[in-house]
Structure 1
Amino acid sequence: MTGFFEKHRKLFFYLIAGIAFITIYAYNLLTPYLSDDYAYLIDVRKAHSLTDLVRQQYGEYLSNSGRIIGQFNVRLSLSIDKQIFNVINSLMFLLLVFLIYANIQKRKKYDSFVLLTILSFLWLFSVEFGQTMLWICGACNYLWGSVIILLFITVYRRLLQQPDRRHAVLVGAGMFLLGVLAGWCNENTSGGGLFLVLLYSLNFWTDRRKEKRKTVYPFMVSGIAGMCCGLLGMVMAPGVRKRSATMSEGDEYTGIVGLLSRAYKVIVNMHELFLVLMIMAVLILVLLSLQGKLKTFARIRTNDTVLFILAFLATSFVLALIPTPANRAFFGAGVFLMIACVQGIVEAREQKELAVQLLTCGLVSALCMILFFTYVENLVDLARIYREENERIALIEAEHGENEDGIVVIPQFREEFRTVYSVAHDSDLTDDKEYWINHFYEIYYDIGNITAIPRDEWDVRYGSRE
C-alpha cells in the first residue's frame, strides 16, 4: 500500500488539493450576504466607476479604518457578482494552504501528509471560520490579508536562502512594494509578520557574520522598510484614531492597569481559542527537546517551530495595546501557531521511531475523521441558513410590492442552525427596527421598517411558508 502511494505521490497531492477547493467552494456558495456586507453594498452601489470606489475608500480611511488593502478588496468584491467572489475566495483559501505548505521545511516533495495536516488544522482550528474565511467583509480582511502577509514572508525566506541574485535593484523594489501591501493588511498580523521577518533577518545576519560573509542585502532593507511604511500608514490613519477613541470610551481602566487588564483578556481569549493548538505546540517542543533538536541556543533560535510560536505570541499580545478586539482579530496569530505545529510534526517525524510515526500519523488520521463529520454536519446547517435567508429576502421583496406602509416582519434564523462556519446568527435581525442590521436591510431593500421575531413565534402569527 505504501509503495502504491509513493508511486502516485503527485497524483494524490493534486487530488487532495482539488477536493480542498471543492469543499471550500461549497461553503462559499452557501454563504449569502450577511452583516456588514449590507452596509458596504449600500455604499458600493452608489459608485459608478473604480475611481468612485477609491474615493469611498479614502473617505473610510479618514473616518473609520486604516485597512486600505482589506477594505478596498471588500468594495471590489461587493461590486462583482457573488458567484465570481465564491471562486476567487475559494482560490484564496487554497493559496493560503499552499503558502503554509511552502513555509514547512524538511517536507517531502508532493507531501500529501503535510497537505492533509494543514487542511485539517485550518478547517478545525481557524478562529471564527465563518467570519474570517467566508463572510465577505471578514474574508477580505483576514483570509486575504493573511495570504498577502504569508506571501511576503515566503518570498523573503526564499531570498534569504539564495541572497546573491541578479537584478538586485528590481528585486529590492519588488520587495518594497510587496512589503507595503503586507504591512497594510491587518494591524496585529502585519506586526507579527514584521516581527517574524526581523527574527529571520537577525538569524541570517548572525550566521553570515560568523562566516565572515555579506550580512545585509538590498531586498532585506527594502522589504522591511516597506512593511514598516505599510504598517505605519495603517495605524496612523485618522480613522483609526477616531475609532480607537470611540472604543476606549467604555474602558474601566487606563494606564498600566488598563494595559494589564487588556493583557489578561488576551490570555483568556488565547485559552478559549487556542487551547488544543497550544497543548500540541508544548508537546511538540518537548518531543523535539527529547530528540536533541533543541540542545543549544543556536538550534533554538533557528528552529522554525520556535520562531513561529514567538510570532504567534507577539501577534496575540500586541492586541493588549488596543481596546478589546473581536475574536477574529486573533486569526493571523492562529495561522502562525498552526504553521508552528505542522512544522514541529514534520521535524519530529524525521526520526523514524515507531512510536513517533504512530503518534503523528494517528493524530492526523483522527483529525481527518473529525473533519469529515464536522464538514458534513455544518454543510447541512449552512444550507438551512442559506434557504432561510432566501425565504426572508423573498418575504421582504413581496411585502415591498404589496404594502404601501412597507412594514414587514420576518423570522429570525433558527437557533439550532447556529454554526461557527457562519456569521448569520451573530448579526441576525431583531424585533427592534432601529437595530443596526435592521437599518441596513431597510435601506438596501427600500423598506420602511423591518423587524424579526423567533421562527416559532413567526409561524404561529403568520403561518409557516416552507
Structure 2
Amino acid sequence: MEKEMIKEENTRKKLFLFSVLICFITIFIYEMLTPMLMDDLSYGKEVQSAGNFFELFSQEHNQYMTWTGRSVAHIMLRICMFIDMHTFGGRVFFNLISSAVFTVLTLLIYLNADTNIHYNVKNYILSVLLIWLTGISFGQTVLWETGACNYLFTTTIVMTMITLYRRAYRSSISGVMDVGKNAGVRCVGFFLLGVVSGWCNENTSGGLFLMMLILIAYYKKVFTWTISAAIGTALGLGIMVLAPGNKIRVQYMEESNTGILALAARFLKITLTLKEEFMVMLIVLTVIFIFLKVQGRNFEALKEMILFTFIFFATAYSLILTVTPQVRAYFGAGIFLTVAIVQGYACINTGSRGEDSHVILKTLKLGTVAALLIYMAFSYIENGANLARIYRDETRRFDYLESKAEEGAEDVEIPMLHEQFDNRYSAAFECDVTEDWQNWNNQMIANYYGFKTVSGIDPDAFDED
C-alpha cells in the first residue's frame, strides 16, 4: 500500500511539473505575439535617452514627483526595457521574465488553496485556467508590457507576501518555526518585502495590509516579524499614496459630481463593474459555498475562502477613493477572488471510495476542470491566430514608420488594424490609431518616431495604395 501511495505521488509530481512547464510555454507564446503598445512607446523613448543604467532611477524619481507613486512597477518596466534595448534589440528579456512571473502567480494561487494532497494537479490547472479565462483585461494586465509591470508583476509580489506571511504565521503559532532562530533576519526580510509589496499598487497593496491586520486579530498573537512586516507594508503604501505626482495627476481627472454624490456615483460604477466582470465567478463561488455548507463544513473549514472573498470586495470597493478607475485596476481583486474559488473547490469532499456519491462528485470535480481545459484549448488556438495576425500588421506598420522616419517625412498615414482580429488577449485595439491626428494614440506614435502628425486610414485602402 505504501509503495502504491509513493508511486501515485511521484506520478502526480511529474504531471504537476509538466503542467507548470506548459503554463510557462503557453503564456510565453502569447507574450512573443504582443508588440509595443500605448505607453510602451513613451516609456521606451524615455529609457532610450538614459545614458546608463542608474539614470533609470533618476527618471523614475522625476515621475514620482510629477505623475505617479507606483515606482516599484515603473522601475521594473524601465529595467526590462533597458535590458531589451541594450542586449536583445527587442522584447525578449521581458517576455521571459513576464512568462516566469505569470507562472509564479499561478503557483502562488495554488499554494494559498489548502489541500492535504501534495502536487494536486486539478487545483493547479484550475488556478491557471481561471486566470486565462477570467483575468481582468488580460491583454492589458498580463501581455501589454507597461500594464504587466503595473498589475501582473505587482500582484505577484503582493501574493508572494501573502503566501509567506500566512505560512510563517501558521508555523509560528504551531511552534514549527523557531522564533528565536534567525529572528533578526526574518524581521528585516519581512520588513523589506513589506515595503516593496506595499509600494506596488494602491488597492491591491491596501488589500494586503488589511489581510495582515485581519490575521493578527484572528490569531490574537503578535511576533516581531509580524510587526516588521506590517510596518514595512504600511510604509511602502504610504510612500506610494503620498507621492507628490499623485496630486498633479488627479487634476487631469474629472467627474460630474462632487461630495457625497461623487462617492455614490463611484460606488454605483464599481458595483456595475463587479456585475459586468465578476458575475459568473461570484455565482460559482456562491454555489460552492452553499454546497460546502450542505456538506456540513463549519466556519473554521471555510475561513480561508471567506477571508479572500472579503479581501476581494474590500480591494474592489477601495477604488471609491479614486476618480473613474480603469477596469484593469480590478486585476488584483480578481486574483483574490480566484484564490477563494480554488480554495472552495479544494475543500469539496468527494466522500469515501465505493460510495455512489464519491463517483458522482469526483466525476464533477474532474469534469469541471476537463471541460474548462477543452474550452481553453480551442480558445487559445483561435485567439493565438488573431494575435499572430495583429503582430504581423503591427510589425509591418512599425517597419513602414521607421522607413518614413529615415526619409525625413513629417506627416504620415498608416493603416488601422483589422477589426475582425480583435480579441480579449490583445490591447492593440484600445490604443489603435484613428483618423484624427490629434488623438493621443496618434500623437504618441508621432512623438516616438519624430513626426509632426500621424493619421490612421482604412487598412484595405492602404493595401490598395
Do they superpose with TM above 0.5? yes
CA-to-aligned-CA distance 1:299-347 (integer Å, 9 cap, x gap): 27x7110000001000000011110100000000000000000000000
CA–CA distance in 2 between the matches of 1:17 and 1:349?
Answer: 25
What is the letter of the counterpart of residue 203 of structure 2?
Answer: N
Q: Which moved more, 1:104-113 or 1:66-75?
A: 104-113
What is the letter of the counterpart of residue 281 of structure 1?
Answer: L
Query: Structure 1 residue 362: deviation in Å?
Result: 1.9
Q: Deviation above 6 Å: which 4+ runs of structure 1?
A: 2-5
Secondary structure of 2:412's partner? strand
Partner of 1:125: 134
Partner of 2:175: none
What is the letter of the counterpart of residue 348 of structure 1?
Answer: I
User: 5+ unaligned residues in a row in structure 1: which ranges?
Assistant: 206-214
TM-score (norm 1): 0.92
CA–CA distance in 2 between the matches of 1:84 and 1:25?
Answer: 11
CA-to-aligned-CA distance 1:74-121 (integer Å, 9 cap, x gap): 111111221111111100001111111111112411111111111110
What is the letter of the counterpart of residue 12 of structure 1?
Answer: L
CA–CA distance in 2 between the matches of 1:400 and 1:256?
Answer: 51
Q: Work out whether residues 5 and 12 of structure 1, in 8 Å CA contact, stay in contact via their aligned partners in 2.
A: no
Aligned residues: 444
Partner of 2:419: 415
CA–CA distance in 2 between the matches of 1:240 and 1:430?
Answer: 29
Partner of 1:211: none
Secondary structure of 1:32's partner? coil
Q: Which moved more, 1:361-370 or 1:115-124?
A: 361-370
Q: Work out whether residues 145 and 186 of structure 1, in 8 Å CA contact, stay in contact via their aligned partners in 2.
A: yes
Secondary structure of 1:48's partner? coil
Q: Work out whether residues 66 and 248 of structure 2, in 8 Å CA contact, stay in contact via their aligned partners in 1.
A: yes
CA–CA distance in 2 between the matches of 1:268 and 1:424?
Answer: 25
Partner of 1:201: 216
Task: Say if 2:62 is the partner of 1:59.
Answer: yes
Query: Structure 1 residue 359: deviation in Å?
Result: 2.5
Query: Structure 1 residue 351: deviation in Å?
Result: 4.0
CA-to-aligned-CA distance 1:409-466 (integer Å, 9 cap, x gap): 1111100111111110000111222222222222222333321112123234x1xxxx
CA-to-aligned-CA distance 1:207-246 (integer Å, 9 cap, x gap): xxxxxxxx21001111011111111111111111221232
Q: Quick one: which of 80, 83, 108 aligns to 2:83?
A: 80
CA-to-aligned-CA distance 1:46-80 (integer Å, 9 cap, x gap): 11122211111011001110101001111111112
Task: Say if 2:330 is the partner of 1:327.
Answer: no
CA-to-aligned-CA distance 1:249-269 (integer Å, 9 cap, x gap): x31111122111101100100
Secondary structure of 1:303's partner? helix
Q: Work out whether residues 9 and 118 of structure 2, in 8 Å CA contact, stay in contact via their aligned partners in 1.
A: no
Q: Work out whether residues 267 and 317 of structure 2, in 8 Å CA contact, stay in contact via their aligned partners in 1.
A: yes
What is the letter of the counterpart of residue 333 of structure 2?
Answer: A
CA–CA distance in 2 between the matches of 1:388 and 1:405?
Answer: 21
Q: Quick one: which of 179, 184, 199 aligns to 1:184?
A: 199
What is the letter of the counterpart of residue 34 of structure 1?
Answer: L
Secondary structure of 2:413's partner? strand
Distance verdict in 2 for CA 1:425–1:47, change over 3 Å: same
CA–CA distance in 2 between the matches of 1:129 and 1:410?
Answer: 27
Partner of 1:208: none
Secondary structure of 1:429's partner? coil
Secondary structure of 1:50's partner? coil
Distance verdict in 2 for CA 1:256–1:356, change over 3 Å: farther
Distance verdict in 2 for CA 1:110–1:397, change over 3 Å: same
Task: Say if 2:76 is the partner of 1:70.
Answer: no
Partner of 2:226: 220
Partner of 1:391: 396
Partner of 1:37: 40
Q: Quick one: which of 376, 379, 382 aligns to 1:374?
A: 379
Q: Quick one: which of 140, 144, 159 aligns to 1:150?
A: 159
Query: Structure 1 residue 7: deviation in Å?
Result: 5.2
CA-to-aligned-CA distance 1:361-415 (integer Å, 9 cap, x gap): 221111111111111111001100000001111211223334x443321111100
Task: Say if 2:306 is the partner of 1:291.
Answer: no
Q: Work out whether residues 36 and 145 of structure 2, in 8 Å CA contact, stay in contact via their aligned partners in 1.
A: yes
CA-to-aligned-CA distance 1:103-148 (integer Å, 9 cap, x gap): 1112411111111111110100100111001111000010000111
Query: Structure 1 residue 6: deviation in Å?
Result: 5.3
Q: Quick one: which of 230, 234, 237 aligns to 1:231?
A: 237
Distance verdict in 2 for CA 1:334–1:227, change over 3 Å: same
Partner of 2:277: 273
Distance verdict in 2 for CA 1:68–1:6, change over 3 Å: same
What is the letter of the counterpart of residue 325 of structure 2?
Answer: P
CA–CA distance in 1 between the matches of 2:350 and 2:415?
Answer: 56
Query: Structure 1 residue 5: deviation in Å?
Result: 6.3
TM-score (norm 2): 0.92
Q: Quick one: which of 12, 15, 20 aligns to 1:17?
A: 20
- Matched ranges for 1:447-462 at <5 A: 447-460=451-464, 462=465
User: 5+ unaligned residues in a row in structure 2: which ranges?
Assistant: 85-90, 173-177
CA–CA distance in 1 between the matches of 2:290 and 2:409?
Answer: 67
Partner of 2:102: 93
Q: Work out whether residues 141 and 331 of structure 2, in 8 Å CA contact, stay in contact via their aligned partners in 1.
A: yes
CA–CA distance in 2 between the matches of 1:378 and 1:454?
Answer: 23
Task: Say if 2:142 is the partner of 1:136.
Answer: no
Q: Work out whether residues 350 and 362 of structure 2, in 8 Å CA contact, stay in contact via their aligned partners in 1.
A: no
